Amino acid sequence: MRLAEVYAARQRISPWVIRTPTIKSVTLSKMTGGEVWLKLENRQLTGSFKVRGALNRMAMLSPEDKQCGVVTASSGNHALGVAYAAKTLGVKATIVVSSNAPEVKKEAIKALGSELHIHGAHYMEARNYAAELAETRNLVFISAYNDLGIIAGQGTVGLEMIEDTPDLEKLIVPVGGGGLISGVATVWKEASDVEVVGAQTKASPAMSESVIAGRVVEVPLSNTIAEGLHGGLEKDPITLSICRKLVDSWVTVGEEGIRDAVRFMVLKQHEVVEGAGAVCVAALMENLDQFKGLRVGVVVSGSNIDESRLKQILCGAS
């Protein structure tokens, strides 16, 4: 992955995406005794950073591939990004989401005009079904993370952050399949000695366990409100080698910590975030000593949470 590809992605997608703000959190800064800056991708089009990679990858399609159409799989946000990109670029899209995808994401996908399939309990089951559809229908399969075009698009988050807050000492990025952290770390490691911290859920630590093992490993999965980071890894993902090279450390967070972070973001920062979008905030709040006195960047990756779940979290229900 080269930095030039990220710059090319930014030029490619700039007519459509929002340059989201990076704001200082007064409360989190007081908690750490340093400076904490929040990159608010919850304010992005479709409510997630995922639209960046989707737009970049689909803008790179050949005329023949655009004519064939695309298929993808996701727990929701990547699928929503592809649906938005398909409508924007005039490409037919078939979307497969796992059953744990929130209703708000499913409804948004259908509203954008894509063909929606619900299959499997988690990402890999949806992904394998999407691969079958690609084969039988002659569609172009677009991975949620195992694709340089996707990674370059996600890396534009990092470009904006390094321009807004170039003197960060630590950077916390959420990790599922690793597309976002691969792109963001590529940008930052070219220009800075920042420590890149990968934040995962205890329910699905597939990437960190695979990095430790040096190969893709299957991990037991449990239920999580951060469904956007849930699921195993594809075979031979390019993100694994990037994460092994560029990610300095890992933090895993539990469900109560994620709920606390969602509540914090709503009540203290006045920002609606989904479970996956709150994971980096949870990682910070649960490990204050690791970030004490430092300038820290935190990626808040998405906002697509069902109203009923948000109400439960705010009321303190599990």
Among 142, 170, 200, the domain-final residue is 142
- Domain of 77, CATH number, reads 3.40.50.1100
Note whether 130 and 274 are same-domain residues.
no
Do 7 and 62 fall into the same domain?
no
- Report the alpha-carbon distance of residue 180 to residue 175 in Å, rounded: 7
54 and 44 part of one domain: no
Whether residue 154 is found in the same domain as residue 223: yes
Confidence of residue 106 (pLDDT cuts 50, 70, 90): confident
Same domain, 177 and 299: yes
Q: In this predicted model, what pLDDT tens digit does every residue of 253-277 receive, in sequence order? A: 999 999 999 999 999 999 999 999 9
Q: Residue 68's domain spans which residues?
A: 50-142
Rounded Cα distance, 155 and 157, in Å:
5
- Last residue in a domain, options 97, 121, 142: 142
Supply the pTM of this predicted model: 0.95
Number of domains within the chain? 2
Angstrom CA distances, 16 to 4, 48, 117, 174, 240, stand at 20, 14, 26, 24, 29
The answer to whether residues 210 and 83 belong to one domain is: no
Distance CA 149, CA 155 (A): 10
3-state SS of 152-181 is HHHHHHHHHHHHHCCCCCEEEEECCCCHHH
Whether 81 and 132 share a structural domain: yes
Residue 1 CA neighbour count, 13 Å, CB half:
35
Note whether 182 and 306 are same-domain residues.
yes
| Cβ contact 144:156 at 8 Å | no
Question: Same domain for 181 and 134?
Answer: no
Distance CA 304, CA 243 (A): 26
Tell me the pLDDT tens digit for each residue of 49-89. Answer: 999 999 999 999 999 999 999 999 987 899 999 999 999 99
